Amino acid sequence: MKEFKHFINGQFVASSSSFENRCPADNKLIGTVYEAGKAEVDTAVKAANAAMKGPWGKLSLNARVALLYKVADRINERFEEFVDAEAQDTGKPKSLARHVDVPRGAANFKIFADVIKNVPTEAFRFEGPDGVQATNIAHRTPKGVIAVISPWNLPLLLTTWKVGPALACGNAVIVKPSEETPASTTLLAEVMNECGVPPGVFNVVHGFGPASTGELLTSHPGIDAITFTGETATGEAIMKAASVGLRDISLECGGKNSALVFADCDLDKAVAGTMRSVFLNCGQVCLATERVYVERPIFDEFVSKLAEAANKIKVGPPDDTEASMGSLISQEHQQKVLGYYELAVEEGATVVLGGGVPDMPDDINSGAWIEPTIWTGLADGARVVNEEIFGPCCHIRPFDNEDEVIALANDTAYGLGASVWTENSSRAIRVSEQLEVGMVWVNCWFLRDLRTPFGGAKQSGIGREGGVHSLEFYTELKNICIQL
Ligand code: NAD
């Protein structure tokens, strides 16, 4: 049995309260996770503040960058251990963890090491009317101690997407991974020690959110800024906590993303792309498509081709090399998704594919399995069309013209991402510009250049991550004005 301890000031420590960690693919016990209380959170915050005042605070940029490269290399050396950790915690296919989660986890350290080395700040020469002259130089300093609150869907990828830039900018971090997925962050703590990251710079406290570790951390006065990825309702709670003491926040929250498929698209590419955007990671991707709008002349063909392709998805446990889809994160989440599957029928959907739980072999039958599901025929006001489900499912609706589909796509409280499928490049730009989202993919989905802005509009978040945009959050920009 494994033990997932906190990592505070360079040491692994247990605490008095603990909970179970189970693999959602077979419900087997992986180990015990300790829950950090006030004492552990306090110690971690003190350690991080001390690290900022210690050698870490004075480390040269070159030394910091070299350390981050070392961390990335060490993740790659321990690649298969990270794959195992991620697959056991989430139930996702190891092939997916090998292809997406772990390589991106390592890349997130290198990209921000490169960004911080290469991004200039501004300088202005000032000449006043009375002849006074000055030079203004902008200078970046670390923000301080950053609380990193992560979700369970892409644990290593999303945690390092914050830890990478935070450390590159010279901050200290306290990470609270999701209670569902403690393993890869605990392994990352080992890597930090192996690479010589000074004690207190990278800390991990395990536990739950409300009335537990997450709340203790985000309301702690020793935290200078909070970066969060998770549900919009949690983002609101964190925003309230951050308002005390005016701490800065970065929020990456939920979505109800659309795909707009025009009759002039390359149909096979649109079907293949929508297959990924609906079903990757069992639909548990913040950018996943749950609303598909297809121009009427190709509606029937698109629906039948997507259903035909989705029908071939093999659902299976992490080690099954033929499986392209794993389990959901937990039995609790399975019940939530199944609740929406039932609601879709109550709301009048035509179930094109799926809608239930697949038959699985006896030894894994108690896993959080779910069928890939496609609906048509729901009204625009249906809850299934408006609420984030976070499962492998989508509703497909026909449309007749550009203005109509833009209005439909924008008719949501969320604003994270959208994909547009068309071979007409003028239309691609015209439509993309009108979509109320943070990211539009044209003839692709989740194609990520890590230098580009990532984040959501409306209730999908506040702020942008990626490239220089992450530096804006993780540094304080100071102007130094020198009168000449
Ligand atoms: P969640 O909001 O339930 O939990 C996320 C994290 O917040 C966990 O570590 C949890 O313990 C912690 N938390 C919960 N309540 C808290 C509180 N009151 N104070 C402090 N911490 C608290 O989200 P989840 O279920 O883990 O993840 C799924 C959600 O994340 C979906 O809504 C999905 O869209 C969203 N998500 C968004 C992005 C993005 O980039 N926009 C990426 C991935 C996931």
Judge if 327 and 401 occupy the same domain.
Answer: yes
Task: State the CATH number of the domain containing residue 197.
Answer: 3.40.605.10
* The predicted structure's pLDDT at residue 238: 98
3-state secondary structure of 308: helix
Ligand 1 pocket at CB < 6 A: 149-153, 158, 176, 178-179, 208-210, 214-215, 218, 229-231, 234, 237-238, 252-255, 286, 388, 390, 416, 456, 460-461
Q: Any idea which residue has 């350290």 for tokens?
A: 109
Alpha carbons 443 and 291: distance in angstroms, whole number:
16
To the query of whether residue 195 is one of the catalytic residues in this protein, the response is: no
Is 470 within the bounds of a domain?
yes
Judge if 79 and 226 occupy the same domain.
Answer: yes
Strands (E), 321-416: 350-353, 373-376, 393-399, 414-415
Judge if 273 and 153 occupy the same domain.
Answer: no
Judge if 89 and 217 occupy the same domain.
Answer: yes
3-state secondary structure of 187: helix
Is 454 within the bounds of a domain?
no
Is 187 within the bounds of a domain?
yes
Task: State the CATH number of the domain containing residue 422.
Answer: 3.40.309.10
Atom of ligand 1 nearest to the CA of 329: 25
| Tens digit of each residue's pLDDT (9 = 90 or more) over 298-316 | 999 999 999 999 999 999 9
Is 178 within the bounds of a domain?
yes
Is 478 within the bounds of a domain?
yes
Judge if 77 and 103 occupy the same domain.
Answer: yes
* The predicted structure's pLDDT at residue 365: 96
* The predicted structure's pLDDT at residue 296: 98
Is 264 within the bounds of a domain?
yes
| Tens digit of each residue's pLDDT (9 = 90 or more) over 224-267 | 999 999 999 999 999 999 999 999 999 999 999 999 999 999 99
Judge if 90 and 231 occupy the same domain.
Answer: yes
Quote the domain boundaries for residue 336.
Answer: 257-449
Judge if 223 and 200 occupy the same domain.
Answer: yes
Judge if 212 and 265 occupy the same domain.
Answer: no
Nearest to 37 by CA among 190, 178, 208: 208
pLDDT in tens, the chain (484 residues): 999 999 999 999 999 999 999 999 999 999 999 999 999 999 999 999 999 999 999 999 999 999 999 999 999 999 999 999 999 999 999 999 999 999 999 999 999 999 999 999 999 999 999 999 999 999 999 999 999 999 999 999 999 999 999 999 999 999 999 999 999 999 999 999 999 999 999 999 999 999 999 999 999 999 999 999 999 999 999 999 999 999 999 999 999 999 999 999 999 999 999 999 999 999 999 999 999 999 999 999 999 999 999 999 999 999 999 999 999 999 999 999 999 999 999 999 999 999 999 999 999 999 999 999 999 999 999 999 999 999 999 999 999 999 999 999 999 999 999 999 999 999 999 999 999 999 999 999 999 999 999 999 999 999 999 999 999 999 999 999 999 9
How is residue 186 written in tokens? 């605990």
**How distant, in Å, are the alpha carbons of 51, 308, 411 from that of 394?**
47, 14, 16
| 177 C-alpha to ligand 1 centroid (Å) | 10
- What DSSP designation does 324 have? S
How many of the other CB atoms lie within 10 Å of CB of 308?
A: 11
Judge if 302 and 339 occupy the same domain.
Answer: yes
Judge if 414 and 434 occupy the same domain.
Answer: yes
Strands (E), 42-194: 123-127, 133-142, 145-149, 172-176
Q: Domain count for the chain, please give it.
A: 2
Judge if 309 and 444 occupy the same domain.
Answer: yes
Judge if 400 and 476 occupy the same domain.
Answer: no
Q: What are phi and psi of 139, to 5 degrees?
A: -135, 135
Alpha carbons 357 and 415: distance in angstroms, whole number:
30
Residue bearing the CA closest to ligand 1, atom 8: 178
* The predicted structure's pLDDT at residue 389: 98
Is 455 within the bounds of a domain?
no
Alpha carbons 238 and 235: distance in angstroms, whole number:
5
To the query of whether residue 252 is one of the catalytic residues in this protein, the response is: yes
Alpha carbons 294 and 270: distance in angstroms, whole number:
10
* The predicted structure's pLDDT at residue 381: 98
Is 131 within the bounds of a domain?
yes
Residue bearing the CA closest to ligand 1, atom 15: 209
Among 286, 290, 295, 347, the active-site one is: 286
| 58 C-alpha to ligand 1 centroid (Å) | 33
Question: What's the pTM?
Answer: 0.97
User: Do 261 and 270 contact (CB within 8 A), yes or no?
Assistant: yes
Residue to probe by mutation, ligand 1, list 89, 148, 149, most atoms within 8 Å of CB:
149
Rg (CA), the chain: 23
